[in-house]
Structure formats: structure tokens, C-alpha cells
Amino acid sequence: MKMELSTTAPAREERLKAGIAFGGTCANLKYCLNKACLNNANRSFSQTYGCQHGLSLGILNTLRNAVVIMHSPLGCGASTNSSVGQGSNFKRLRDPKAEGTIWLSTNLDESDVISGGEKKLRDTIIYADKEFRPEMIIAVSGCVPALIGDDIDGIISDLQSEVAAALIPVTCEGFKTKVMATAYDAAYNGIMKKLLKNVVREENLVEDDFEEIQRKYLLSRHVNIFNVGSMSRADELELERLLNAIGLAVSFLPCYSAPKDFAYSLENSLNISVCGTHDDYYIKYVEQEYGIPFIIDTIPIGRKNTTRWVLKIAEHFNLEKEAEAFLKKEDELLNESLKPYRKNLKGKRVYLGGGAIRIVATAEVLQDLGMEIVGFKGHHIDKFIEPTFEALENIDDVVFNVATQQPFEQVNIVNKLKPDVIVIHSGINNITAKQGLPILPLFGPTNIYMGYAGVFEIACRLSRKIKNNQFNKNISKNRSLPYKREWYDKEPFTYIRED
Ligand code: SF4
């Protein structure tokens, strides 16, 4: 079906039949994925979780040469405070002259709910353009403008001729979806509307045929990798190393890109997803409109997933032989380097929580190290998880919980499963630490998790965490969890309802 650009991206509950509530085994989950019966499940009791407005800022705040305007009450953009400092450093790893995140809020209040917030947005856009002279201004709107009917697209097209910056509307009201990952589509929707245009190149009076042939050849071996906010620069360099080794050049987007990078990416020959749950909306649209093929398969975390990811790309360019020879060498080196860690990690029981694709892929690393997977908690579930399951062994009876945050379910399950270590998404570590277990963050913006180097680094860090867990033991002795004994006696999925 042809994709049409509209004001706002569709919610993933409708577009992908994604689910946010499930409790059972991996075998049950795979069965339900096939039968598409996860879509309507929900909870009769739920703790708070994030909204798509915050998650879309996770991408938009990384963009270079931009001002982000949050068109919402002040609190909607509060998460930005915790990431701007880090964000400026990570931007400078891509461009040493990059500025940190510049963000403004229209700070909508009660009187704006009565009289409308459009004037505030207009004034803020004009102020941002004059004061900061950015290449683009991104207006990210939350629930309130949607409820009071502010015409964001109308303001943007009206003001575009008055300002120098490209104006990008991103509509991501939190109430619209329970699947936070809709945020990725919302952010991409704005990019698709305004930043996809052909590159304007200087034309030489005398054409140099050789240069033109050379340029076209280089572009035919140049690929775009779609990075995710949880990737570090070191992750990117590892993936670039793997693809450079088989003769491909690489560009990364959308995170940390400048506006013109989106136009240049349209000249390259293949779009490659690192995580299908982030990118399918965008790269399917780019294929439809610009004819660029794409690969959405597994995430390159773990040896089997990395091999599969590289070979799929190599296959597209008929480079399988080169890739196989290179990967064999990488495999041998990795095996040698993992020897000291295997002894310490073998047989340890692990629980993993975070993005569903990422946790299942990371479990492959842990099985490779001889560890036992006892449970998973994924933020949401959709069909993109399927290839990552193929890299795992003996997990049919392992517990799988689909829950965006919902720490009450997590503590109950962890209490029953009694793992030796937890690998988990940051943001819920405070609760996890109170159970006294060693924790390895599921990702880290300064660490490496992807490719062969990622397997090695996960092994080193996990080994260190398990050897010395005194800090979390002390936390559990001195800080208790807020749940009553009766909750631990109950079944953890008591409140999940399948309609
Ligand atoms: S749910 Fe709505 S009001 Fe709440 S933070 Fe998200 S956008 Fe703002």
C-alpha cells in the first residue's frame, strides 16, 4: 500500500499491531506473534511510563545546526535537561564545531488552553531564527496543542517565507499511543516532510566524464546505516570497520546528523537498519519515493547476529566471499580473547530488560559466554523481534514479559527467578539496584555493545560487575522496595488483560 505523508504518523498499535502487555514464555510469545493476538492486551492496573513526546526528543535533540521548540507545557520537555550536556559532547564527536542542544519551550499555560497557543509558537519560531540563526527549527508539539486545536502545519507553512531556517513540524502528542516507539515515526514524519530533497550540485561548464563515473561508482558502494539513540560513537565505528573491511563506505543517520545529511543520504545505494523497530516507517517511504532499497533484519549485537547482519549486506553487493573470509578471522580472534572471561561467567543466570530486539540480541552474547537466560522484559512487541529469536537456543520455556517500565511486575518476576545478574535499560536501575543484584546497563552512550568488539566489551564489563557487587548489596540493605509482601506472593502477570 502506498504511504502518504500526513500531519502526524499513525500510532503503532494500528500500523504494526504492536503490543504493550504480555506475560508468558518465549514459546507462547512466538505463537501469539504469529496469530497477531498481542495487539489488544492491556493492564487493569498500570504504573506510569513514558510518552512518545519524550522519546522523539531523544532523536530530535541530537540533530546538529538545529533549534528544538517544545510546543507544550514546560514539563513535557523536562527529560531534555538530563541529556543536553552529554548530547553536546556526542555531537562534537561527529563535528568538533557542533553546538550543544538549543531548546526552547512555548510554556503553554491555562490561559493558552482557553485562547490558543498559536501566537506563542509563532513568536518563539521568529525569536529562535533571529537569535540563533540555525539551519532548521523543529517544532515538537505535545498533547495540549492537539487538544486545543493549534494548527502547527499552518503556522509552519505561513512562517516559512519569513525565516531563514527550514521549519520542521513534529506532532507527537503523548495521549495518542501507548506504544512509545511511535515516537520514532513521529520524528521521521517531520524529516520526511521537510528534509528529503535532492542535493543541488555545482555544474561544471566542461563535464569531466571520468570524475562523474568515479563519483557514481563510489556512491554505488556507499550505504546509509540508521543509528539509534542508544548507540555510542564507538558502536558506529565498529560497524563502519566491519563494512569498510568488505569495501563499503558508510554514513550514519538520523541521530547526530545535520539537515543536509538527509539529502546526501538519498544519493547512496542502500539503507540499512540496525533495529527494525526504529526505522521501517522511514526507509520504506524512502524506497517508495526515491527507489533506494533497504535491509531490515537483525541487530548486530552478538556474534551470530553480527555475522547475519554483515552477510545480508554483503549479499546485496555480491561480496559474500570477501565477507565470509573476513568474518572467519574476526570469529577466531574473538574466541581467543573471550577465554579469560568464560570461566567467571559460565552458568550464571541472567535476566534482561529493555527494548525487545536489543534484549533478545544481547541474550545471544550471554549464551555465547555460557550464561543461562532466565527471563526477559521487553518494552513493547512487534514483528521485528522475530530474526533475533533465531540466534538463541533453548529459550522456549524462558519467561517473557512485555511491559513499558511497570517495575512492579519486574520486581515480582526477579524475586521469583532469582537471577545472578541483570542486564537492563537505564531508567529502571534504581528499582533494580534495591534487589541487590549486579547490573550491567543494556546500552551506554560511551561504551561499545555492537559487532565483535561489543561482545568482548560486554564480557569484560559483566565479568567485573559479577566479581564485585558490593555497591548494590549495600543499597539493598539500606533501601527497601515499596511493595507489600502480598504482591510477591501473587502471580506477576495478575493485572494483564487480553481482550
Ligand atoms: S503525555 Fe502529553 S502532556 Fe504528558 S509529557 Fe507527554 S506530551 Fe506532555
Please confirm whether the linkage preceding 169 is cis (ω < 30° from 0): no
Interval 49-73 mean pLDDT? 93
Atom 7 of ligand 1, nearest CA residue: 142
User: Is pLDDT above 70 for 249?
Assistant: yes
Neighbour order of strands in the sheet with 399-402:
22-25, 399-402, 372-378, 349-354, 421-424, 439-441
φ/ψ of 128, rounded to 5, equals -60, -40
Higher pLDDT, 484 or 78: 484
Distance spanning both ends of the chain, measured CA to CA: 28
Instruction: Look up residue 75 and give its amino acid.
Output: G
pLDDT at position 266 is: 95
Under 8 Å CB-to-CB from 19, ≥6 apart: which residues? Answer: 38, 39, 40, 41, 380, 381, 382, 402
Under 8 Å CB-to-CB from 115, ≥6 apart: which residues? Answer: none
CA of 480 to the centre of ligand 1 (A): 30
If pLDDT is split at 50, 70 and 90, which confidence band does 80 have? confident
If pLDDT is split at 50, 70 and 90, which confidence band does 151 have? very high
Interval 126-132 mean pLDDT? 98
pLDDT at position 197 is: 79
In the block, residue with C-alpha cell 543484584: 437
Which residues are near ligand 1 (CB < 6 Å)? 51, 53, 72, 76, 142-143, 173-175
Mutate to test the pocket of ligand 1, among 49, 53, 107 (most ligand atoms within 8 A of CB): 53
pLDDT at position 430 is: 80
Exposed / middle / buried, residue 351 (Cβ in 10 Å: 0-12, 13-18, 19+)? buried
If pLDDT is split at 50, 70 and 90, which confidence band does 267 have? very high
Q: Which atom of ligand 1 is nearest to the CA of 172?
A: 7
pLDDT at position 37 is: 79
Helices (H), 384-450: 386-389, 407-417, 429-433
Count the neighbouring beta carbons within 10 Å of the beta carbon of residue 235: 26
Mutate to test the pocket of ligand 1, among 55, 175, 177 (most ligand atoms within 8 A of CB): 175
Interval 395-414 mean pLDDT? 95
For residue 203, what is the DSSP state?
A: P
Interval 309-316 mean pLDDT? 98
Q: Are 381 and 179 in contact (CB under 8 A)?
A: no
Residue 430 is placed in which grid cell? 534504581
CA of 71 to the centre of ligand 1 (A): 11
| SS3 category, 383 | helix
Digit-coded pLDDT (tens) for 340-377: 999 999 999 999 999 999 999 999 999 999 999 999 99
Q: Which atom of ligand 1 is nearest to the CA of 142?
A: 7
Angle at 137 between CA 143 and CA 254, to 5 degrees: 85
Report which of 381, 410, 423 is spatially closest to residue 487, judged by C-alpha positions. 410
Residue 5 is placed in which grid cell? 505523508
pLDDT at position 202 is: 66
pLDDT at position 205 is: 67
Name the most confidently modeled range: 39-43, 91-95, 259-263: 259-263
CA of 407 to the centre of ligand 1 (A): 20
Atom 6 of ligand 1, nearest CA residue: 174
pLDDT at position 354 is: 95
Quote the mean pLDDT of the chain. 93
CA of 175 to the centre of ligand 1 (A): 7
Residue 195 is placed in which grid cell? 528534509
Q: Which atom of ligand 1 is nearest to the CA of 143?
A: 2
Q: Give the integer Cα–Cα distance in Å for 188 and 75.
A: 23
Exposed / middle / buried, residue 392 (Cβ in 10 Å: 0-12, 13-18, 19+)? buried
Residue 489 is placed in which grid cell? 506472593
* Domains detected in the chain: 50-179 (3.40.50.1980), 209-322 (3.40.50.1980), 341-497 (3.40.50.1980)
Q: Give the integer Cα–Cα distance in Å for 380 and 355.
A: 7
Residue 301 is placed in which grid cell? 549485537
CA of 51 to the centre of ligand 1 (A): 6
Higher pLDDT, 106 or 77: 106
Q: Are 475 and 433 in contact (CB under 8 A)?
A: yes
Q: Give the integer Cα–Cα distance in Å for 157 and 250.
A: 34
Burial pattern 92-115, b for ≥16 Cβ within 10 A else e, equals bebeeebeebbbbbbbbeeebeee
Interval 387-401 mean pLDDT? 96
Do the strands 496-497 and 42-43 form a parallel or antiparallel pair, or are they unpaired? antiparallel
Atom 5 of ligand 1, nearest CA residue: 76
User: Is pLDDT above 80 for 339?
Assistant: yes
- Tell me the CA distances in angstroms from 353 to 89, 289, 467, one per residue in order: 27, 37, 21
CA of 141 to the centre of ligand 1 (A): 9
Please confirm whether the linkage preceding 441 is cis (ω < 30° from 0): no
The total number of residues shown for the chain amounts to 499
Q: Which atom of ligand 1 is nearest to the CA of 52?
A: 6
Count the neighbouring beta carbons within 10 Å of the beta carbon of residue 436: 15
CA of 52 to the centre of ligand 1 (A): 8
pLDDT at position 491 is: 96
Atom 3 of ligand 1, nearest CA residue: 143
Q: Give the integer Cα–Cα distance in Å for 239 and 4.
A: 32
Report which of 111, 112, 138 is spatially closest to residue 125, judged by C-alpha positions. 138
CA of 75 to the centre of ligand 1 (A): 8
Dihedral angle of Cα 460, 461, 467, 473, to the nearest 10 degrees: -170
User: Is pLDDT above 80 for 206?
Assistant: no
Atom 8 of ligand 1, nearest CA residue: 76
Q: Are 88 and 99 in contact (CB under 8 A)?
A: yes
